[in-house]
Copies of this chain bind each other. A is one copy, B any other.
Amino acid sequence: MANTHPFVQHVGYLHTGAAGATTPDLVRYTDVNTDPTFIRSGGINDPVAVFDGSVIPYGINGTPTLLYTSVSYLPIQWTIPYTKGSETQSLAVTYDGGKNFTKLNEGPVIPGPPFPVTNVTGFRDPYVFQSPQLDHVANSTTGIWYTVISGGIHGQGPSQFLFRQYDADYRDWEYLGQWWHEAANSSWGDGTWAGRWGFNFEVGNVFTLNDEGYSNSSDAEFFTTLGAEWSEVPIIPQVSQFREMLWASGNVSNSPNGSVHFEPTMAGKLDWGVFAYAAAGKLLPATSQASVHSGTTVDRFIIYLWLTNDNFGTSAFPTVQQGWSSTLTTVRELSRGTISNVMNDYLVAGPASWRIASQDKSAGTVELVTLNQTIAREVRAAFVSNATRTITEPGRTISASASGYGNASSNDLNFAQSPSSKFFMLTTTIHFPAVARNATDLKAGLKILSSEYESTSIYYQFANESLIIDRSNSSAAAATTPGILSNNEAGRLRLFNIASGSANGSSSIESLALTVVVDNSVVEVYANDRFVLSTWVWSWYDESTEISFLHEGSVAVRFDDVVVYEGLVDAWPARP
């Protein structure tokens, strides 16, 4: 069975150990151990659990060195008072290339949030990084390591705590303050584009990107990815109702009191799927095995997201039927993206998940920048080159008058050929006429995993600028199997007005470039290099593999460049 997703028991990851895998090319993965845990709780520093961590590749004595959250007391959650000392940060090193990490025979190198900020909502997931830009701002020794630790403060709000390496053995870390703090339960703007900052941050990564990928040159900007935890009122102790997987970009400066400060300029959702969380990113240098293998000549920042399927332990997912309980999403590359020739109209106003980088007053346009996310080039290339079948569906324009399926305002057009399995990557570009923006009844997209018993709809609608995965009819088993969710998953995507370049002031709506990866019960929707929505779709019948166009409403749209690459890649060739 082909499968691109490295499955991890992430609940186990959090509570009894951390699992790992290696890959020579980002495409195929090998578990580090049969287990496949590389560190387990039960030591002096972590008697009850180990949480997330990150690796300094050439750390103590040049050895890969893991800085991780060692846990001494549970429960820990932002909804309950914090047990002092429950989360500390400790070191472990590997002598076998990461198969096993040996804990250092010493106490935590960061024994807690510094006095007096000890009443935290969380203090975990240390992310280590280097940054010449930060060296400059913080007046640090060049090449020193930093770590952000995610958490927050009761009654105040979520924070990233910044520390700086102090000695060659990484034994002491100098606290540089909460380089980023947001007010409790606040949001970026009205929350449309980046949800809520919530009450507690988790799994924060910090890195710098330019248009090519990872960069620490002067044109690069600071980005962070983060999880945000929040709840509607009343907050119920030990129930963290919502988690959002976000990103932000911003400026880093010295604040008046001398501490380093991160100030967002744009923020968004790293994935709109409610079960997509805990993005783990890392610098993948151009000199890495994978990059050399693929001929990539730039440094990249790649991320994996965790896709839980039991709503972080709260819902009754049929784990037994599934055989495993979580997955990682397809690996992505991040870069700073540009949207050029955007009409400078009401659509570009922020705060949003983009910012205006420059303005051409004479043309009446702006250039926007945002976070770009694309499937890692090797993986995308492998999906194409390794496809067992490549289906090219002719492009077509679908209008209300073309209706032949369902009611008069609905188009439901089967592909000439559909894949025979539930493993494929589908690409298409949808073009909208200018009138589409006000067509409140318009829905345009695809119906996948379809048969006479069930189907999943993926469509864009201007009414609320949303890309939606409608799972109401996704699984014939949903009615009888608890935990198979049938509610919509949705994300917000703005299609801008792009100057047409002909008459001044004329424009057209930005096209919607979709890539849909279907990996059995995991569906990932990528749009315009800046939107991702990943979720679970549990189609039940083997024959539910048909694909069709989806169109509703009175405005015609055109589908172009429709290709299905069937087969994907077996990401775990060594697994039985």
Give residues in A with beta carbon < 8 Å to B. Answer: 44-45, 47-48, 72-73, 83-86, 88, 105-109, 111-112, 114-116, 118, 166, 171-175
Contact = CB atoms under 8 A, between A and B. Distances in A.
A166 B105 CA distance: 31
A87 to B, nearest CB: 9
A115 B172 contact: yes
Report how many copies the assembly holds. Answer: 2
A108 B175 CA distance: 19
Contacts of A48: 44
A111 B45 CA distance: 12
27 contacts: A44-B47, A44-B73, A45-B72, A72-B107, A73-B105, A73-B106, A83-B105, A83-B107, A84-B107, A84-B109, A84-B171, A84-B172, A85-B108, A85-B111, A88-B111, A107-B112, A108-B111, A111-B111, A111-B112, A114-B114, A114-B115, A115-B172, A115-B173, A115-B175, A116-B166, A118-B171, A118-B172
Contacts of A174: 115-116
Given A84-B106, A88-B111, 8 more contacts: A44-B73, A45-B85, A83-B105, A83-B106, A83-B107, A84-B171, A84-B172, A86-B106
A166 B115 contact: yes
A147 B514 CA distance: 64
Given A47-B44, A115-B174, A86 B107 contact: yes
A73 B116 contact: no
Contacts of A114: 114-115
Nearest to A47: B44
Contacts of A115: 114, 166, 172-175
A49 to B, nearest CB: 12
A166 B116 CA distance: 8
A507 to B, nearest CB: 56
Nearest to A112: B111
Nearest to A91: B84
A112 B106 CA distance: 12
Contacts of A73: 44, 105-107
5 closest cross-chain pairs (CB), A and B: A85-B107, A111-B111, A84-B106, A83-B106, A84-B107
Given A44-B72, A47-B44, A105-B73, A116 B172 contact: yes
Contacts of A175: 115
A108 B86 CA distance: 10
A198 B103 CA distance: 34
A85 to B, nearest CB: 1
Contacts of A83: 105-107
A91 to B, nearest CB: 10
Contacts of A88: 107, 111
A186 B44 CA distance: 37
A173 B105 CA distance: 26
A118 B72 CA distance: 21
A81 to B, nearest CB: 10
Contacts of A84: 106-109, 171-172
A73 B116 CA distance: 26
Nearest to A108: B85
A20 B105 CA distance: 32
A313 to B, nearest CB: 23
B85 A106 contact: yes
A48 to B, nearest CB: 8
A109 B119 CA distance: 12
Contacts of A112: 107, 111
A84 B167 CA distance: 13
A443 B476 CA distance: 107
A173 to B, nearest CB: 8
Contacts of A45: 72, 85
Contacts of A116: 166, 172, 174
A281 B108 CA distance: 32
A108 B88 CA distance: 11
A112 B172 CA distance: 11
Nearest to A111: B111
Contacts of A108: 84-85, 111
Contacts of A107: 72-73, 83-86, 88, 112
Nearest to A82: B106
A243 to B, nearest CB: 26
A114 B166 CA distance: 13
Nearest to A169: B84
Nearest to A109: B84
Most B Cβ at <10 Å: residue of A47, A166, A172 = A172
A124 to B, nearest CB: 14
A126 to B, nearest CB: 16
Contacts of A171: 84, 118
A82 B175 CA distance: 21
A528 B47 CA distance: 55
Nearest to A43: B47
Nearest to A83: B106
Contacts of A105: 73, 83
A72 B70 CA distance: 14
A48 B112 CA distance: 21
